[in-house]
């Protein structure tokens, strides 16, 4: 296994001999791919990849992802140690430094959105996002959390620090709430392609959680997932729920917070579309295109309008893992509410 603790590699790093370290990474990764397969190779070489992404000059660090070294030598978007190698790289250098150097489109996109999460405005000069997600944070995205806590803080020799995913984080501002009776009529569960895409987007954020959608208000959605009818809960601004929803996608080391931001915008675009498509069942797609085949491109104005009117309800569960998320998102215009609830131990 190639690790930073290898004396020879540590000496090369201390001497700044990055081309030799990159060559060692590529040689080791290709050999491991041939012997054990792509997934095993990514794990075996990730510690050295982390070191290069963290400490090497950007002109060399970006070459971790280039395929000019031959088959099996390049890191992909899933290569990770304490976190994805592309996220390590993105925390170390500005987009101005990285943009002329980064090649592979999937890595380039994730790095760009990581830089946006870190407060950089890429709205001018960067290629537009293929799904229309803005390359700078909207005010409601920036309002709920400190810049320093938006992405993992990576350490030079490996490892990272990150905030725990907890929503709600405490009982502060919450009170005893009686949830409504469980919805029992078939019409209480809206369907349609846009609703399905919104649920899929929320489910992708936290695959360890359950998701539901109902006609009605947020507590009705919460009632489908909460363990008890009487809970400690309450409403909070969407801006305060946003950080937990983004972090949910980055609970595992293979994904970064850029995955969470993109996934949440995808879900919000579907929610906004459901509200504006003459009913949440999604019938009547224009231009003869079936909505099952449509792709929700994020309309910034529609998403901002949805967030402005969104009502968010959160509640506590009697037993929750160190990562937990219990929130229902209500769109009063569309008359529907989505809920996400689950917990996970470290």
Q: Is the pLDDT of residue 132 over 80?
A: yes
pTM for this structure?
0.89
CA nearest to 149, candidates 138, 139, 158, 161:
161
CA atoms within 13 A on the CB side of 281: 5
Q: Note the pLDDT of residue 236.
A: 94
| pLDDT tens string 29-45 | 999 999 999 999 999 99
> What is the residue extent of each domain of the chain?
7-161, 166-344
- pLDDT bucket at 295, cuts 50 / 70 / 90: low
Q: Which of 88-92, 122-126, 263-267, 334-338 has the lowest mean pLDDT?
A: 122-126
Q: Is the pLDDT of residue 284 over 50?
A: no
Q: Is the pLDDT of residue 287 over 90?
A: no
Q: Note the pLDDT of residue 296.
A: 65
- pLDDT bucket at 279, cuts 50 / 70 / 90: very low
Name the β-bridge partners of 257: none
Find which of 92-101, 248-257, 273-282 is predicted with most confidence, using mean pLDDT: 92-101
Helical H runs in 15-157? Answer: 18-36, 38-55, 58-61, 85-92, 95-98, 105-117, 139-143
> What average pLDDT does this structure show over 319-328?
84
Q: Note the pLDDT of residue 151.
A: 94
Q: Could you tell me what percent of the chain has a pLDDT over 70?
A: 89
Q: Note the pLDDT of residue 277.
A: 54
The Cα-based distances of 265 to 132, 189, 203, 243, 306 in angstroms read 9, 23, 13, 13, 11
Do 332 and 309 contact (CB within 8 A), yes or no? yes
Q: Could you tell me what percent of the chain has a pLDDT over 90?
A: 65
């Amino acid at each position: 296994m190639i690790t930073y603790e290898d004396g020879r590699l540590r000496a090369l790093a201390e001497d700044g001999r990055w081309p030799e370290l990159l060559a060692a990474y590529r040689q080791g990764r290709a050999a491991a791919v041939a012997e054990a397969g792509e997934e095993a190779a990514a794990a075996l070489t990730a510690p050295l990849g982390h070191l290069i992404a963290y400490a090497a000059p950007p002109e060399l660090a970006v070459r971790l992802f280039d395929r000019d070294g031959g088959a099996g030598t390049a890191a992909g978007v899933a290569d990770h140690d304490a976190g994805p190698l592309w996220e390590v790289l993105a925390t170390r250098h500005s987009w101005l430094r990285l943009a002329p150097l980064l090649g592979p489109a999937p890595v380039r996109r994730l790095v760009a959105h990581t830089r946006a999460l870190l407060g950089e405005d890429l709205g001018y000069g960067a290629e537009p996002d293929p799904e229309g997600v803005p390359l700078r944070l909207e005010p409601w995205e920036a309002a709920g959390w400190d810049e320093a806590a938006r992405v993992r803080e990576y350490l030079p020799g490996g490892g990272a620090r990150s905030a725990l995913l907890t929503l709600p984080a405490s009982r502060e501002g919450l009170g005893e709430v009686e949830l409504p009776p469980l919805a029992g009529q078939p019409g209480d569960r809206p369907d349609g392609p846009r609703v399905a895409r919104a649920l899929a987007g929320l489910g992708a954020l936290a695959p360890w959680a359950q998701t539901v959608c109902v006609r009605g208000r947020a507590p009705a959605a919460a009632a489908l997932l909460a363990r008890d009818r009487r809970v400690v809960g309450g409403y909070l601004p969407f801006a305060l729920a946003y950080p937990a929803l983004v972090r949910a996608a980055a609970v595992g080391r293979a994904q970064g917070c850029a995955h969470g931001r993109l996934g949440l915008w995808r879900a919000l675009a579907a929610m906004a579309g459901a509200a504006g498509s003459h009913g949440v069942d999604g019938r009547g797609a224009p231009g003869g295109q079936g909505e099952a085949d449509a792709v929700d491109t994020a309309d910034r104005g529609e998403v901002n309008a949805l967030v402005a009117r969104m009502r968010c309800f959160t509640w506590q569960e009697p037993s929750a893992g160190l990562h937990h998320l219990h929130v229902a998102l209500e769109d009063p215009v569309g008359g529907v509410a989505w809920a996400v609830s689950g917990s996970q131990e470290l």
